[in-house]
Structure 1
Amino acid sequence: MGSNNGRKGKTLLEVGADGVAIITIDNPPLNLLSVDVLLSLKDTTEQALKRDDVKAIVITGSKHKFSGGVDVKVFGKKVRQERPGFLSIDFITDTLEAARKPLVAAIDGIALGGGLEIALACHARISTSSAQLGLTELQYGILPGLGGTQRLPRLVGLQKALEMMLMSKVVNGDEAHNLGLVDAMGTTENLVDTACCWALDMYHCRKPWVASLYRTDKIEPLSDARLILKLARERAKVQSPNLRHPLVCIDVIEEGVSSSPRVGLWKESEALLELRQSDVCKSLVHFFFAQHNTTKIPGITDLGLFPRKVNTVAVVGGGLMGSGIATALILSKYVVILKEVNEKFLSAGIDRIKANLQNHVEKRNMTQKQSKETLLLLTGVLDYESFGNVDVVIEAASTDMSIKQKIFAELEKNCPSHCIFASSTSTINLKLIGERTKCANRIVGAHFFSPSDVKPLLEIVRTEKTCPQVVVDLINIGKKLKKTPILVGNCTERWIMSALRHQSQVESSTMKIFQIDPVKLL
C-alpha cells in the first residue's frame, strides 16, 4: 500500500500464486479500526474484487491479532460520517458481504467489537483455539454498529447472541466453533493457509457460501423470538435499571427479526449515532481510560522493564481470603501450591476452592469438565519443601505480626532468589512483616478484596525498598487475573478506625460537623 502518510493504520494487499488475495489489517498493537483503516480496507477489498487474478479473499490481522475493534477514543465524539449506514451498509454489507468472490476471516488473538463485525460479514470464519471473540460495545454505552446486532443472532441463535451482546461476553475460538460463530479451526502457524484453502473450496463450490445476514437456520420462530426478547428486556431493566442502551440494543435486534435484517441495519446505524453522543457513553469511556491508566505509573512502568514469566504461585493460608486468591490464580491457569499448617485446615481450604469453582459452573462461566481440569493445577502442602521453584508467594495467613514475620523468614530460606514475596494484609505494615529478612526489595503487598476470585480490584502496596521490577511483575499478574491493579502507598487501614473513633468523640462534644471537616482536610 506504500507509505502510511500520517494515517492511523492501514491495510496491506498481497495476492498469492493460488489466486487468493490476503488483506492484512495493520494498525499495531491491537489493529484497531480507525477511520483510516476502515477506508483502506474498503479500498483494498474493492481492488481485490476488480482483479481478474483474484479468486477469493482472506482478511486477517498483523502480529497474530485480527482486530480489537473501533478505537474507543472515537466514542462520545462527533465523527464525520457521510450519512447513517455509510460503513455498516454501504461498505460492510454491500461491499464485503455482497462480494461476488468468497471472503474468509482468519482470526487469531482478538476479534472484538467492530473487529468481529468485520469477520461476521465475511462468508466464513477460521479461528485459533485461543482467539477471543465478542461484541463488547455495550460496556461503552453504545451498541454494535457495524451489523453485529443483525448477524450474530443468525449465526449463534437469538438467546446466545443476546447473552454475548448484553453482557459483553467474550468466547474463545473453541466455544465460538461449537456455537457456529466460527466455521473451522486452525493453529497460529497454519491459520492463513487454512483460510486460503477454505476460500478456494468456496470458490470451487466445495463449501457452502451463504451470507450471514440472510441465514435463518439459527433464528427461532417469531413467537419464540418475541418471548426471548421480552424476557431479555425484563432482565435488562432489573440488572441495569438506569441504563437505556441495553433496551435500545434489544429493540434493534427485534426490528431485524420481525421486519428484515436490512431494516434492522438501518435502525442499528441510527441508534449508534444517537447513543455515542449520550452522557452515559461519555462517562463509560472516561471510566474505561481511567481504569486502564492505573497501570501507567511514572518511575515504574516507564523504565523499560518487562514482566518476568511466572509459572508457579504459592499461597500461604487457605482461609476465606487465601482460598479465594488460589481460585483466582488457577482460573487464570497458574500452577498453585496451597500451604496450610495442618491437614484439617488444608482440607477445608481445598474444599473452599472446590466450592468456588462449582459456583462458577453454576453461573455457567465454565463447565464441570473445565472445573475438574482447573483443579488439577492446585497442590496442597503442609511444609515449604516444594517452594524451591516458586516464582511468587502470596501470604494470606493470620493477621498476627509475629506469625507473618516467621512465615516470611521461612520463605526467604526455602524460595529461589528471584521469588516475589507478597502479603495480602491491609492491617500490618509491610516493613514490619519483612523485618527479619534481608529481601525487603522483593516484598510487596497484594491486597485482594473478598471474594477474591470475583472482585475486580487488586491493590499493590509498595514500600520505599520495593523493587520496580516486582511492581511490574505484580501488575502483569493482576492483568492476567482480570483485575484492575492499582498502586498504593504502604499505609494500613487501622488508622481509619482510630480516626473515626476520634471523630465520634469530637462530634459528641459541642462542635458541629461542618467545623470538623475543614480540620480533617489539613
Structure 2
Amino acid sequence: MPNLVHYEQRGDIAILTIDNPPVNVFSPGVPEGIKEGLARGNADDSVKAFVLIGGERSFIAGADAKTFNLPPEQWPDMRGTIDALEASPKPVVAAMHGNALGGGLEVAMGCHFRVAAPGLSVGQPEVKLGVIPGAGGTQRLPRLIGLEQALTMIVKGDPIKADKALEFGLVDQIVEGDLLEGAIEFARTAQGTPKIRDRDVRLAIPTHVFFDVASERVQREARGLLAPMLCLEAVKYGVEHGFDAGMRREGELFMEAVNSDQSKGLRHVFFAEREVGKIPGVDRSVKSRDIATAGVLGAGTMGGGIAMNFANAGIPVVVYEANEANLQRGLATIRKNYENTAKKGRLTMEQVEERMKLIRGTLDFADLASADYVIEAVFEDMNVKKDVFGRLDATCKPGAILATNTSTLDVNEIARSTKRPGSVLGMHFFSPANVMKLLEIVRGEETSDETLVTSVGLARALRKVGVVVGVCDGFVGNRMINQYGREAQQMVDEGATPHEVDSAMHAFGLPMGPFEMSDMAGLDIGYAIRQRLAKEAGLEKSDTFMDRIVELGRKGQKTGAGVYSYANGRTPVPDPDVESLIHNYRMEKGLLKRELSRDEITKRLIYQLVNEGAKILEEGVASRAGDIDIIYVYGYGFPAYRGGPMFYADQVGLASVLADIRGFHERHGDTWKPAPLLETLAAEGKTFAQYVRASGESARP
C-alpha cells in the first residue's frame, strides 16, 4: 500500500501531511498513514502536539466515492481514524485549505482544534451523491455549531467559506499567510488547553415542533430524494438518544442510503461527468490553444447568452449583428439579465459593469477578424449558415476556430463551405445559454484534434459540461428528444391528454413534460423542423395536431398560448380550445380514443429515449453510455438520481426493457423497432455501461 501520509517533526510539533493528489481524497493508504503517524508521535516524548495538513491543493476533499462500490470491509477506515485522532492524548490541529468536504470535514471534526486558510470551503455535501455523512458528521457537526445551522449544512449539502465557519465556531482561527507555520504556532499555544470532546457535548432536546417543521421543509425541498430525509433522521436520533446511539443509527442509515438506487444514480452522474472530458481517439499530448478573444454572430436570445458566457469567464467578446435595432435590443437584454442577477444578490453592480465592458457590439463584420474563437448563432437554415461561414473563413485570422451553434444541421456540410474544415465544429449551447450547463461539442469529419481539445478546454473555462458527440440529425440530445416528442404526440393521438403525458413525467422526476418543454422552447421550432422533414420526404406538408396549434398563432410561452395557455405568466393551464382542437383532429383522422395508464405513458416516453440512445451508442455518435446520460441530466432535466436514461435502463434490466419495447413494436409499428445493440446486450446479460465499441473508441462522424 502506498505511503500517502508523510511524517515530519519541527521542534516539538509532529506534522502529518496527506499526499494523495490531486485533492487528497480519503482512499486506502490515508487512514493507515494517519494512524501510524499518531502512534509514532504519541510514543515520542519530544512531540507535544500534531498538525494534520493536506499537501498541494486541498486538505481532504472527501471520501473516495469509488470505494462505495466495494464490499464495506474494503472501505478505508474513516471511523477508526477519527476515533484515533479524538483519542490522541496530545492535541491534534487540523490545518485546512482548499476543500474540507464530507469525510474531510468529519476527519477535521475528530481533531481537537481546526485552523483554516482564508479560501477554505468546508461542508457536508454527501446528499449530492445520495448518501449521508457516515463517519460522525450528523453527530459532531450539531454539537460543534448548533442544531439549526448543522441541519441546514447537512440536509442541503452546500459548503461554506472560512469566514462563515469561524463565525459558526467550526474553525478556531483563520490563518493569514503560511498555513503550516500558523498551524504550528497555534499547536504550540494549544498545548495544555482543555478541549471538551464533541461527543461529550449535550444538545438540548428541542420541542417536537422543531423537527416537525424541519421534516415538512425537507420533504418539500427534497422533492422525492431519500438522502435528505435520512440526514434529518440521523440528526434527530442523535439529539434524542445521545452521541453513541446516534453514531450507530447514522451507520445504519448510511448503509441504507449508499445501497439505494438513488445514490447509485447520483454516483453514476458524478463519475460520468468526469469522464466526458476524456476524448476517445485523441492523444493526451495534443495541447489546447489559448483563447484570449472571442466573437459571436447574432445578438438574439442565443447569441446574447453565448456572449455572456465569455464575459463571465473574463474573455472579451465582439457581438456582430447586421441590424442596429437588433444589436441594441440584444445588448439591452444582456444588461437586463445581468442586472436581474444583481438584484438577486449573485453579482454586484460593479461586476455587472465589468462584464458589460467585456462585450462589444458591432455592425462591422470585419471586427471579427482578430477573434481566436468565433461562434455563429444565426437563423437555423443551411444556406444562411454556409453563407456566414464562407464570410467568416475569408475574414477571420488563420488559426481561428469557427463554431456553429446549430442544433440539428450537418456540421460537415457547413465546414465544407470553408477552406479550413479542420478548424470548424459544432458548439451546441442549450437555451438559455447563459444558464444551462450542457454544451454538445460536435466533432466533424475533418475537425482537427487540436480544435477539439481547445473546444473541450473552452467549455471548462465557460463552466459548461462539454460532451463530445458526432454528426447526425439532431446530434445526441435533439435526436433522442425528437423520438420522445413524437411518441408524446402519438399517445395524444391515441387518447391521452397533453396534461396526462406531462404529469407522468413529473411523477418520474422531470421538472417538465414534453408539451410543457415544447411550449417553453417555442412551438415554431418543432414546426419548422417537421415541415422541413416533410418536404425532404416528398410530402406537401406536415399535418399533426401540434402543427395545427402553431398555425393558430399559438407558439408557446412567448405568445402566451401554445399547448397550454399562460394567462398567469409561465404557469401552464390546460386550455379547452386545445382540447377541442385535438378532439376534432382525432375525428377528422379517424383515430379511436382510448385510456392510457401512467405506467404505459412513462415507459413509452423513457424507453424511446433508451432505444434511440442505443442506436446512437452503436453508431459511435456518442462515445459512452454515460455521455448520453450527462446530456440528458444537464440538458433536458432528466432526474440525476435516476442516473440518466441509459443508466436507468441498466438498473431496470435490459432484458425487461427489451421485452416492453418488443411489445410496443408489435402494437405500434416500426417506430418501436428494437435497437440491435439493445438486443445484443440483453441476450448477453450485459449493460450499456459495459459496452465498448469493437474499435475501442468512438467512430469518427
Q: TM-score, normalised by structure 1?
A: 0.80
Matches within 5 A, 1:6-155: 7=1, 10-17=4-11, 19-80=12-73, 87-88=78-79, 90-92=80-82, 94-154=83-143
1:76-135 CA-partner distances (Å, limit 9, x unpaired)? 4321179xx9743x531x432343433333333333321232223334444445444332
The residue number in structure 2 matching 1:472 is 453
Contact kept, 8 Å, 2:342 with 2:352, in 1: the verdict is: no
Contact kept, 8 Å, 2:78 with 2:103, in 1: the verdict is: no
Contact kept, 8 Å, 1:8 with 1:27, in 2: the verdict is: no
The residue number in structure 1 matching 2:257 is 275
Pair 60,235 (structure 1): closer, same or farther in 2 beyond 3 Å: same
Identity %, equivalent residues? 33
Pair 311,117 (structure 1): closer, same or farther in 2 beyond 3 Å: farther
The residue number in structure 2 matching 1:200 is 188
> Which of 374, 381, 395 lines up with 2:361 in the alignment?
381
What one-letter code is carried by the residue in structure 1 that aligns with 2:110? A
What one-letter code is carried by the residue in structure 2 that aligns with 1:102? P
Pair 151,521 (structure 1): closer, same or farther in 2 beyond 3 Å: closer
> Which of 378, 399, 406 lines up with 1:397 in the alignment?
378
Pair 328,237 (structure 1): closer, same or farther in 2 beyond 3 Å: farther
Pair 434,273 (structure 1): closer, same or farther in 2 beyond 3 Å: closer
> Which of 471, 483, 495 lines up with 2:464 in the alignment?
483
Partner of 1:426: helix, strand, or coil? coil
Partner of 1:196: helix, strand, or coil? helix
Distance 2:179 2:392 in 1: 45
What one-letter code is carried by the residue in structure 2 that aligns with 1:118? V
Pair 175,315 (structure 1): closer, same or farther in 2 beyond 3 Å: farther
1:386-421 CA-partner distances (Å, limit 9, x unpaired)? 656644333223334455445445545665544332
Partner of 1:64: helix, strand, or coil? coil
Task: Give the C-alpha shift of residue 246 in structure 1.
Answer: 1.3
Pair 269,277 (structure 1): closer, same or farther in 2 beyond 3 Å: same
Task: Select the structure that is richer in helix.
Answer: 2
What one-letter code is carried by the residue in structure 2 that aligns with 1:12? H
501-510 vs 400-409, which moves further: 501-510
Contact kept, 8 Å, 2:14 with 2:50, in 1: the verdict is: yes
1:425-450 CA-partner distances (Å, limit 9, x unpaired)? 11332234344432221212111212
Task: Give the C-alpha shift of residue 69 in structure 1.
Answer: 1.6
The residue number in structure 2 matching 1:515 is 669
Pair 86,443 (structure 1): closer, same or farther in 2 beyond 3 Å: closer
Partner of 1:80: helix, strand, or coil? helix
Distance 1:231 1:360 in 2: 31
Contact kept, 8 Å, 2:4 with 2:19, in 1: the verdict is: yes
Contact kept, 8 Å, 1:324 with 1:353, in 2: the verdict is: yes
Pair 335,121 (structure 1): closer, same or farther in 2 beyond 3 Å: farther
Distance 1:509 1:111 in 2: 64
What one-letter code is carried by the residue in structure 2 that aligns with 1:16? R
What one-letter code is carried by the residue in structure 2 that aligns with 1:381? G
Task: Give the C-alpha shift of residue 276 in structure 1.
Answer: 1.9
Distance 1:215 1:465 in 2: 66
Pair 359,254 (structure 1): closer, same or farther in 2 beyond 3 Å: farther
Q: Which runs of 5+ in 1 are unaligned?
A: 1-6
> Which of 450, 453, 456 lines up with 2:437 in the alignment?
456
What one-letter code is carried by the residue in structure 1 that aligns with 2:32? L
What one-letter code is carried by the residue in structure 1 that aligns with 2:671? D
Partner of 1:41: helix, strand, or coil? helix
Distance 1:12 1:259 in 2: 39
Pairwise CA RMSD: 4.0
Distance 2:415 2:389 in 1: 6
Task: Give the C-alpha shift of residue 179 in structure 1.
Answer: 5.6
The residue number in structure 2 matching 1:429 is 410
Distance 1:476 1:342 in 2: 32
Task: Give the C-alpha shift of residue 489 in structure 1.
Answer: 1.2
Partner of 1:75: helix, strand, or coil? helix
Contact kept, 8 Å, 1:456 with 1:483, in 2: the verdict is: yes
What one-letter code is carried by the residue in structure 1 that aligns with 2:232? I
Pair 130,312 (structure 1): closer, same or farther in 2 beyond 3 Å: farther
Matches within 5 A, 1:312-461: 312-341=293-322, 344-357=325-338, 360=341, 366=346, 368=348, 372=352, 375=355, 378-382=358-362, 383=364, 390-405=371-386, 407-409=388-390, 411-412=392-393, 415-461=396-442
Distance 2:84 2:185 in 1: 22
Distance 2:290 2:173 in 1: 32
Pair 246,174 (structure 1): closer, same or farther in 2 beyond 3 Å: same
- What is the aligned residue count? 502
The residue number in structure 1 matching 2:227 is 245
Contact kept, 8 Å, 2:339 with 2:352, in 1: the verdict is: no
Contact kept, 8 Å, 1:333 with 1:374, in 2: the verdict is: no
Pair 465,130 (structure 1): closer, same or farther in 2 beyond 3 Å: farther
Task: Give the C-alpha shift of residue 297 in structure 1.
Answer: 2.5
Matches within 5 A, 1:280-319: 280-300=262-282, 302-319=283-300
Contact kept, 8 Å, 1:75 with 1:285, in 2: the verdict is: no
The residue number in structure 2 matching 1:4 is none
Distance 1:336 1:178 in 2: 40
Structure with max Cα Rg: 2
1:188-247 CA-partner distances (Å, limit 9, x unpaired)? x72322322232332376xx966566679xx9x7548x6564444324323444332211
Q: Which runs of 5+ in 2 are unaligned?
A: 483-528, 545-585, 592-664, 677-701
Task: Give the C-alpha shift of residue 250 in structure 1.
Answer: 0.8
Pair 123,461 (structure 1): closer, same or farther in 2 beyond 3 Å: same
Contact kept, 8 Å, 2:307 with 2:359, in 1: the verdict is: no
Contact kept, 8 Å, 2:38 with 2:88, in 1: the verdict is: no
